[in-house]
Chains A and B, each alone.
Chain A
Amino acid sequence: MTGYHLELSPSVWLDLSLLTMMVLVAIAMLRSRHLFAVVMLSGIYSLLSAAFFVSLDAVDVAFTEAAVGAGVSTVLMLAGMLLTARREKPITPGRAPVALAVVIAAGAALIYATIDMPAFGDGAAPANAHVGQAYVEQTPNDIAVPNIVTAVLASYRGFDTLGEVMVIFTAGVAVMLLLGAGSVRGGREVSDVDADKNEAA
């Protein structure tokens, strides 16, 4: 943290207000027992973090967060919510001293670790110095695409991205296996509603 002076420029105020709003939304999510409200708040949380990523100049990450986090996740959570109760069961507060102690200890350790972290935008930070610097310097010579993020994602780390696509594919297959397109009995598709009626009869 040496040699880094906090300037209260407009962008710092913007970051601070975005982070404050994210904390407030997180607290509201914790306190609400109404699942619909929680899903909507989680969408708002994603949108706020997308705005925060834009202010950190990570447009690609912001784009993904806005599309996946605020868009599709919210829809999938809504669709999942429809399959369960609308309200979370009430919990009795103040009955988990061990959990509280663990959370406080882990939180304190994380805050302690931030003291050693390089300042934001520090050119000598490990993330900017070694392989990151090589990507920035080599992309115009090796690949010549203007968006270095794409160059890293699809070319330098193409094998890594293949693994990511496989993870997404596996998630889709897992959902298909678990929820099924209606159960199939004897090669004939039966919906779950019909199956329940048959069992009841």
Chain B
Amino acid sequence: MDHLILKVTTKLLFAPIILFALYVQFHGDYGPGGGFQAGVIFAVAFILHAFCFGLAETKKVLPQKALTIAMVLGLMFYAGTGVATLLLGGNFLAYTEIDPQSTHHAGQHYGILLVEWGVGVTVASTMLTIFYHFTGREPDIDQEDW
């Protein structure tokens, strides 16, 4: 667990990976990608961090409690978008109601962005939760066991 090159590389890569996750998240309308992929890429940045610096350090940055809340919030954000369109007078998840006057389907674009954000948050926090729980059960692996 004391590899200088790995640590330096991880520190260099950490921010670009998250930036790429955000690009995938918000560029999903225009290219391949979306909330599912962005969430996984976001989680991978923290998994890489946990591999190099240990799970305890990663949990200081992103504690399990925050992840549990994020899991629920992401799902509520998605469902909440649907409820909002209901309250605006449309069907559940009928995004056109968000901006009915728009001539270029802005309501649909907003709706997709909001919903994808909910997907991304839930996927990222769930992946990290599963990783935390699996990895948190055994401290270290013997070198002979590989």
Show the binding face of A for B, using Cβ within 8 Å. Answer: 36, 59-60, 62-64, 67-68, 71-72, 75-76, 79-80, 82-83, 86, 142-147, 149-151, 153-155, 158-159, 161-162, 165-166, 168-169, 171-173, 175-176, 179-182, 192
Contacts and interface: CB of A to CB of B under 8 A. Distances in A.
B134 to A, nearest CB: 4
Interface of B: 24, 28-34, 36-37, 40-41, 43-44, 47, 64, 68, 71-72, 74-75, 78-79, 82, 92-93, 95, 104-105, 108-109, 111-112, 115-116, 118-119, 122-123, 125-127, 129-138, 141, 145-146
A165 to B, nearest CB: 5
A63 B37 contact: yes
10 contacts: A79-B135, A142-B108, A146-B31, A147-B32, A150-B116, A151-B112, A154-B112, A158-B82, A162-B78, A165-B119
A36 to B, nearest CB: 6
Nearest to A67: B40
Given A143-B112, A147-B29, 5 more contacts: A76-B131, A145-B30, A162-B79, A180-B133, A181-B64
Contact of A72 (B105, B112, B127): B127
A172 B130 contact: yes
A182 B24 CA distance: 35
Interface centre among B31, B95, B126, B131 (most CB of A within 10 A): B126
Nearest to A54: B32
A166 B119 CA distance: 10
A168 B109 contact: no
Contacts of A76: 130-131, 134
Enumerate the 7 nearest inter-chain pairs by beta-carbon distance, A residue then B residue, closest first. Answer: A172-B126, A79-B134, A158-B93, A179-B133, A59-B32, A145-B29, A67-B40
B61 to A, nearest CB: 17
Most chain B CB within a 10 A radius of its CB, from A36, A154, A158, A175: A154
Contacts of B104: 144
B68 to A, nearest CB: 7
